[in-house]
Structure 1
Amino acid sequence: MTTKSRGHQLYDLIDEFDLCVLNNGNFTTINYPNRNPSAIDVSFCSAPITPLCEWWVHDDCMGSYHFPTLTRVLLSVDRYQINPPIEKFLYNKTDWTKYNELSISAFSNFEVNNENPLQSYDEFIERLVTLKRDTVPKFVKSNNYRCKPPAPWWNDTCEQSVIKTYKALKLYRRDPTIDNYINYKRLDAVKKKTISEHKRNGWANICNIFSRTTPVSIIWKYIKLFKRIKCNNITYKDEFFVPLLEKLSQNECRVIDNLESYFQINNSIQKSSFLIEPFTWSEFCTSLQSRRNTTPGLDDCPYILIKNLNQSVQKKLLANLNALWHLKKIPESWKTQCVIPILKLDKPPEDPNSYRPISLSSCVGKLNENMIKMRLECYVEANNIIPHVQYGFRRGRSCADSFISLLSDLKYANNNNKSSVCVFLDVQGAFDNVDPGILVQLLSDTGIPDHNVDRAVNSINKALDQLYIYYNDRLALQINPNKSKAMIFSKDFPSNGILYNNHQISVVPNHKFLGVVIDNKLCFDLHINHIITNSLKGLNIIRCLAGVTWGADPKVLSMLYRSIVRSHFDYSCLAYSNSRCVKKLDIIQNKALRIISGAMCSTPIRAMEVETKIMPLCIRRLLLIERYLLKLLSGNDNVLKKIVHFPIQCSAQQTLRGELLRGYFPVLPLIVMQMNEDFKNMVAKVSSLCAVLFMIPNPSLVKVFFWTLNAVFSLQRYMRPSRP
């Protein structure tokens, strides 16, 4: 055997570092027909650990010319904990037609016991669990079975393509003919194409769930899963769970005397029997359809099992729930919940206070609670029990309504040379200390006098004293003065401080309210810088995905840009649209367009916008303002009346040019779309509102026919004629 110079160098390195070769002589490459195989892949280790090493060649080459070589080092005894078998139900592989048919026979002799509905409910859940075990396929993980979890995009098609390729490879190794080799290479190419397509489509489907509120760490976690990078789990000691359990548990439960006194309603509103009537079939169907497939409670009965039951079985469940509702009985499974601590965003994982408890409740119990909630919403909204200034957790209300109401008051005071004081209070342990037996009563309005700032601060201090008595005595809640902040919108600085329960509330020049950074000058420069900081994190993700095959599709990148970058621009654009720093956002979008389209720095911006089908931010803001204005016209009269009551004065010439005065709130869009005959009344309302807001007798509205324009993105008309 002859050895070349590189071989002699390898031998010298082995002798110099005292290395041992672990190869056992097996071939590590796929040989071409009429050629000898090779063992070119060599593994080395130091001499002391050579007896502890096991070396072998893997059977699957995984699309490469070389077979993987595996080495196991037996350094110590395996100390992994032996867990009990895991049983996982595969709902995506269930034959729901068969499940629906078998549910009829499973509940054929089931009858609701109106005298003892708890026993009937337990029997119903027991039969439902038995039906699930008989019809839903399951994956069982034994004690000694260990495997790497599959990728998020992996499915049966990918698995079958890999199996076919592996069988063709084994056939070729047994019979190395040209036909078997061609068949193996053909199936291997099909396997690579199938995996690449499913990987690309899987990432596109995951991008649909991303939004502005999705943490960047979650997106990076999905990227690591697609790149097959293992995410290490944090190991906790037993001492970690002691303070966490003490935080979640309570030594005693507060008992409220005269509970009915807290639920007294105005005498003009009579008690309605609608709230105590049995639930109807339409209420049950509406509530069930609105439920998403979330993780079930300890009874292990998700919504998908209830949705696919036969209609006759669902009516039996409704009858059982009505019997429980009539006798005011609650099953024990509804009272027992599985509490899982979830790490808060940007919090240290070693601190037990950094976790938020999430409870996994029974899906049937949550379905019953949702029907009750729907009735309460209808009753409360019909009788105007909740004040109109309450925007959270109400249908048809949003954060934009609350923010616009506050901003309108601040703008009105600023335009009339008045001072405003705004205090942002933080309830300490709001979700942990909420008493379910007490309903929040209407807070009295605390008007700010039209005099100097000191008097306004004194009025705020009196209101805070009353608020302390209300929260501490009536609601058993406490305000956290360390997290509470105050802002003063005035040129003068107050000589008196702002106190709450003899604690000083710090006066800050800016504060984040509902995700918007408000400064005392109302110029929103800090908020735009905050938006840029968040958008750059998403831009790094797009830049990372542009370099891989499964994420470099321009359509997928455009979708991801709209979800995690442009969504930050859209939120609260009503506030900062007149800021002097708004053009900074255009620079961020231009960078994203170049990454998505792969264009050079000299490429015109308008060409990239046409190529990626992403509109300019200035037009996007006007479109969102139009949508919000039409939403106010459709029903939210409280915010609309406040905006109309505090009109924004602007000259007609500036309005027609689209140049609103800086520092004023842009409540009216400058572009009004042409509508058909059914929307003429809406156009008239917009025109009259324009006259009220801008003091224009006959406003000239610029009409753009968006849905009548046919955009042609093809460049075929500009192509040169073919030369002979």
Structure 2
Amino acid sequence: MKPPTDSNMPIRDMGGNWPRSDEEKANCFAIHLEKVFQPNLPKNNFKLSILPNTAKESLEPLMTSPSEITGIIKELNPKKSPGHDKISPKMLIELPIIAVEVLSLLFNAILSFGYYPISWKKSQIILIDKPGKDLTQPSSYRPISLLPCLSKIFEKLLLSKMTPFLHENNIIPTHQFGFREKHSTIEQVNRITNEIRKAFEHREYCSAIFLDVAQAFDKVWHEGLLYKIKNILPSELYKTLESYLKNRKFMVKVGDFISDERQIRAGVPQGSVLGPTLYIIYTADLPTANNVLDLRLASQLS
């Protein structure tokens, strides 16, 4: 990843003015992102609440253990940045076993009650400039969320509990290669190349459409995502994930200044553990056609 954009970036606000100080720039980005993190709601009066869909009841409690948490902590990168709470990965790696046991009790309580801690739902956003874009526009910067490390540990735990149910229900499309183990860009390129070569050999036409979804992670509709997974996940996981998504907030950091907190009403955090999987689930039911090679790499489709 490129280093965060420095505070000397020349940006223009919506009024055409040039913010000068770090405070003005941070607030300019915060205003822009608050508008981005809004769902593209249906134009009709469609309501999810009228559609029958109920969460599954789990046969046994979904619990974790100190040994499972220790395994996740060992995988942390000590060089990663902390979130707004300043608790770094290195600090967590050095935790004594008694502290890990306390974390185990905390995580089990979160799973039991389906309540995600408010502090863990606050992200500190840094901006990375997008190559080849007009850097005077706030939209030309990619928001990266710095989340509390404790939240990332729990997200990994939550993902490990969700994965068996996703596989059991065949939720992840076989043609989606983004953010999946043993799947890569090279394999998708190879599949396209083979399709083109076969068309040449048979003297046939080979047409392709390539689509890169703009603001893909930022526009995920929370209610729509929750509806899609409600009858797949056990109620404990569903309630926890629902709490994870709702009432999230963000702050923007430019230089040494951090903006005021603002609401997130759509999207999954870029920089989170769960974000990529949640996006894949959200887009898994995109329609396909017969006799068409469907290839996906996260938000890129062909």
Query: Which bracket does the TM-score occupy, shorter chain normalised?
Result: 0.5 to 0.7
Q: 1:440 aligns with which of 269, 274, 283?
A: 283
Residue 310 (str. 1) matches residue 96 (str. 2):
yes
Is the Cα–Cα contact under 8 Å of residues 420 and 448 in structure 1 kept in the other structure?
Answer: no
Q: Provide, for residues 71-91 of structure 1, a one-character-per-residue CA deviation record: whole Å limited to 9, x for no partner.
A: xxxxxxxxxxxxxxxxxxxxx
1:387-536 → structure 2 map (5 Å cutoff):
387-437=173-223, 438=225, 439-448=282-291
Change (3 A) 1:302 1:259: farther
User: Counterparts of 1:252 and 1:234 in 2: how far apart (Å)?
Assistant: 22
Residue 378 (str. 1) matches residue 191 (str. 2):
no
TM-fit CA distance, 1:321: 1.4
Counterpart in the other structure of 2:70? 285
Say which SS state the counterpart of residue 428 (structure 1) adopts. Answer: coil
Residue 320 (str. 1) matches residue 106 (str. 2):
yes
User: Counterparts of 1:425 and 1:249 in 2: how far apart (Å)?
Assistant: 25
Counterpart in the other structure of 1:297? 83
TM-fit CA distance, 1:368: 0.5
Is the Cα–Cα contact under 8 Å of residues 391 and 397 in structure 1 kept in the other structure?
Answer: yes
Is the Cα–Cα contact under 8 Å of residues 344 and 356 in structure 1 kept in the other structure?
Answer: yes
Change (3 A) 1:392 1:252: closer
Counterpart in the other structure of 2:20? 237
Q: 1:358 aligns with which of 144, 169, 173?
A: 144
Say which SS state the counterpart of residue 350 (structure 1) adopts. Answer: coil
TM-fit CA distance, 1:264: 7.8
User: Counterparts of 1:301 and 1:260 in 2: how far apart (Å)?
Assistant: 43
Say which SS state the counterpart of residue 297 (structure 1) adopts. Answer: coil
Q: Over aligned residues, Cα RMSD in angstroms?
A: 3.8
Say which SS state the counterpart of residue 103 (structure 2) adopts. Answer: helix
User: Counterparts of 1:418 and 1:262 in 2: how far apart (Å)?
Assistant: 46
Counterpart in the other structure of 1:258? 48
Change (3 A) 1:245 1:443: closer
TM-score, normalising length from structure 2? 0.61
Say which SS state the counterpart of residue 337 (structure 1) adopts. Answer: strand
Say which SS state the counterpart of residue 208 (structure 2) adopts. Answer: strand
Change (3 A) 1:323 1:343: same
Change (3 A) 1:262 1:314: farther
Counterpart in the other structure of 2:253? none
Query: Which amino acid in the other structure matches residue 115 of structure 2?
Result: K
Say which SS state the counterpart of residue 340 (structure 1) adopts. Answer: strand
User: Counterparts of 1:379 and 1:327 in 2: how far apart (Å)?
Assistant: 20
Say which SS state the counterpart of residue 219 (structure 2) adopts. Answer: coil
- Paired residues in the alignment total 223
Counterpart in the other structure of 1:246? 31
State the structure with bigger RCO (CA 8 A, min sep 6), 1 or 2: 2
TM-score, normalising length from structure 1? 0.27
Q: Provide, for residues 121-147 of structure 1, a one-character-per-residue CA deviation record: whole Å limited to 9, x for no partner.
A: xxxxxxxxxxxxxxxxxxxxxxxxxxx
Residue 331 (str. 1) matches residue 142 (str. 2):
no
Q: Provide, for residues 261-314 of structure 1, a one-character-per-residue CA deviation record: whole Å limited to 9, x for no partner.
A: 69789xxxx87547x511233431222222212111121111222221111221
Q: Provide, for residues 155-186 of structure 1, a one-character-per-residue CA deviation record: whole Å limited to 9, x for no partner.
A: xxxxxxxxxxxxxxxxxxxxxxxxxxxxxxxx
User: Counterparts of 1:253 and 1:232 in 2: how far apart (Å)?
Assistant: 26
User: Counterparts of 2:147 and 2:289 in 1: how far apart (Å)?
Assistant: 40
% same residue? 24
Select the structure that is richer in helix.
Answer: 1
User: Counterparts of 1:298 and 1:393 in 2: how far apart (Å)?
Assistant: 26
Is the Cα–Cα contact under 8 Å of residues 337 and 359 in structure 1 kept in the other structure?
Answer: yes
Query: Which amino acid in the other structure matches residue 364 of structure 1?
Result: L
Q: Provide, for residues 246-269 of structure 1, a one-character-per-residue CA deviation record: whole Å limited to 9, x for no partner.
A: 22113996599437969789xxxx
Query: Which residues of structure 1 form unaligned runs of 5+?
Result: 1-213, 219-230, 450-478, 486-512, 514-724
TM-fit CA distance, 1:383: 4.5
Change (3 A) 1:316 1:241: closer
Change (3 A) 1:357 1:444: closer
Q: Provide, for residues 509-545 of structure 1, a one-character-per-residue CA deviation record: whole Å limited to 9, x for no partner.
A: xxxx8xxxxxxxxxxxxxxxxxxxxxxxxxxxxxxxx
Q: Provide, for residues 48-79 of structure 1, a one-character-per-residue CA deviation record: whole Å limited to 9, x for no partner.
A: xxxxxxxxxxxxxxxxxxxxxxxxxxxxxxxx
Change (3 A) 1:352 1:336: same
Query: Which amino acid in the other structure matches residue 359 of structure 1?
Result: S
Query: Which residues of structure 2 form unaligned runs of 5+?
Result: 11-18, 226-281, 293-298
